[in-house]
Amino acid sequence: MSDHNRLIHLKGVFGKWWWGVNSAWGLISSADVLVGHYASASFRASWDATWIAPKWGWEIWIIGVLLITAIAAFEYSFRYIKFNERAAKTAQTILQSDLDQEIAKRGRPELVASLRCMGNPLVTMLELRNTSPVAAANIRIEDVTYKDRTLRFSPPASIINSSAPTLVSCKILYNSTAREDDLGALFEYMGAMQQSLGGGKLQLLEVLISYSNLDDHALQRRWMLSFSFWYDYYNKSIKMDGQKIEEVT
């Protein structure tokens, strides 16, 4: 429901004009009181003659005041309408921007990464979940190199919305050998699992996961999901943090 009513419109049109008339009337009234109390007799006579007997007659004065009022009302109405038009245009621009952002967000697959520890002996694997109804396609994960070992993922080509996460197979390449499906193997070198460094963790490693929607090539868009992970020696586990999604242009 609009908050605009006749009183608000009347104030918008005549507010400044009414303020001007009242200010002028207040000044003239104050001057008349001062003249009546403190001016000389000759000045009071001249003052009274000026205001009591208008030279042009009351009709001319009334017509002049009405004409000035009409011009002021027209000008203020024009400015009032232009102000509201600008305000409406600004609000529409903001609303359209919010709508475009919401459409873009809803059209984006929402991949979420997490690490799952399972099995006996215990292994750590990457899992991906798509929380958007839009399927994530053309999924690629860049290799992660740490010291003399390389972590290579084999992600599925696409992930649709599902309550069950998708486990991502991986290999740790080291001296022409490969250990599968355990991120912890990336840190097993020179007794690293038994070492404890300054902050309880090694350097941060970054995983970069790119994917797109299923639109045709002209409308297809790509995003990059990234996060950091490290081995926590104090807790004997792999941790992750800093997960974010950015559009790739």
pLDDT recorded at residue 152: 93
On whether residue 189 sits in a domain, the answer given is yes
Number of domains into which the chain is organized: 2
Q: Tell me the angle at which helices 6-38 and 57-106 cross, rounded to the nearest 10 degrees.
A: 140
Whether 11 and 57 map to the same domain: the answer is yes
In this prediction the pTM is: 0.55
Could you state, in chain order, the average pLDDT of each consecutive group of 10 residues for the chain (249 residues)?
62 67 75 79 76 62 76 77 85 80 69 90 90 89 89 92 87 79 76 45 84 77 93 83 90
Interval 156-190: pLDDT, tens: 999 988 778 999 999 988 876 667 888 888 887 54
3-class DSSP string for 9-61: HHHHHHHHHHHHHHHHHHHHHHHHHHHHHHCCHHHHHHHHHHHHCCCCHHHHH
Whether 234 and 123 map to the same domain: the answer is yes
pLDDT recorded at residue 170: 93
- Residue labelled with tokens 């403190």: 38
The domain that holds 240 is classified in CATH as 2.60.40
Q: How many whole angstroms separate alpha carbon 192 and alpha carbon 175?
A: 17
On whether residue 1 sits in a domain, the answer given is no
> Helices in the chain by DSSP H: which ranges?
6-38, 41-52, 57-106
Give the residue from 87, 106, 125 where a domain finishes: 106
pLDDT recorded at residue 210: 95
Q: Which domain holds residue 15?
A: 6-106
Give the residue from 46, 73, 106 where a domain finishes: 106
Whether 89 and 205 map to the same domain: the answer is no
Q: Is the dihedral of CA 88, 94, 100, 106 positive or negative?
A: negative
